[in-house]
């Protein structure tokens, strides 16, 4: 059995069988991984409050061999932000980062988003896009070529100006 002790941000939680749950975590050492926590939905679970989306926690992950799924064995929350803007940002992060993609710079940036209550939503999105190689400061509208970027479409992975964003998506 292999164990990993790492700092991680809880991105998502999905129910799985009876009282179990599967969590999407973005960890410092492993990148984005999925881990199952047994009986974490029980009212008496010790892990439940430490594994809510928007939580920065130290977690212990274990798996029997390289191909097996992770189990979350232990968790201890360090910081938590559960406001709707932060949860939306974490959902966006989950969508943009592929599984097992380890990026310490991105992790440290997201860690600051969770820890700093003054971190604005706009700064968070711009910083994330810049780190993953989609710098909004150097982008132009995919439709008209304008340099005045107002929106980013994650489903089409393109930047749009205010006018084109309204026409195309009704922003």
Q: What is the pLDDT of residues 99-112, one digit of tens each?
A: 988 899 999 999 99
Residue 148, domain extent: 139-169
Q: How far is the C-alpha of 46 from the C-alpha of 39, rounded, in Å?
A: 10
Identify the pLDDT of residue 26. 96
Residue that is written with structure tokens 């700064």 in the block = 123
**Are 91 and 153 within one domain?**
no
- Tell me: the pLDDT tens digits for 106-150? 999 999 999 988 888 888 998 999 999 999 889 999 999 999 998
Please tell me whether residues 63 and 123 are part of one structural domain. yes
Q: Do 18 and 69 belong together in one domain?
A: yes
If asked whether residues 44 and 12 sit together in one domain, one would say yes
Confidence label for 169 from pLDDT (cuts 50, 70 and 90):
confident
Residue 127: per-residue pLDDT: 92
Residues 25 and 76 in one domain: yes
pLDDT of residue 17: 84
Query: What confidence score (pLDDT) does residue 142 get?
Result: 92
Residue 147's nearest CA partner among 155, 138, 156 is: 138
Calculate mean pLDDT across residues 69-73: 92
- CA pair distance 113, 40, nearest whole angstrom: 26
How many structural domains does the chain have?
2
């Amino acid at each position: 059995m292999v164990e990993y002790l790492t700092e991680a941000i809880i991105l998502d939680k999905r129910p799985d069988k009876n009282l179990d749950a599967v969590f999407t975590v973005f960890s410092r050492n492993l990148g984005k991984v999925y881990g199952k926590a047994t009986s974490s939905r029980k009212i008496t679970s010790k892990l439940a409050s430490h594994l809510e989306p928007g939580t920065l926690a130290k977690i212990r992950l274990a798996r029997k061999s390289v191909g097996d799924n992770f189990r979350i064995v232990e968790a201890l929350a360090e910081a938590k932000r559960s406001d709707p803007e932060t949860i939306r940002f974490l959902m966006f992060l989950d969508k943009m980062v592929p599984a097992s993609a380890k990026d310490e710079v991105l992790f440290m940036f997201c860690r600051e988003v969770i820890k700093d209550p003054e971190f604005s939503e706009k700064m968070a999105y711009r910083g994330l896009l810049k780190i993953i190689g989609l710098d909004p400061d150097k982008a132009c509208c995919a439709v008209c070529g304008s340099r005045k970027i107002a929106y980013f479409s994650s489903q089409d992975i393109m930047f749009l100006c205010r006018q084109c964003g309204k026409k195309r998506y009704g922003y």
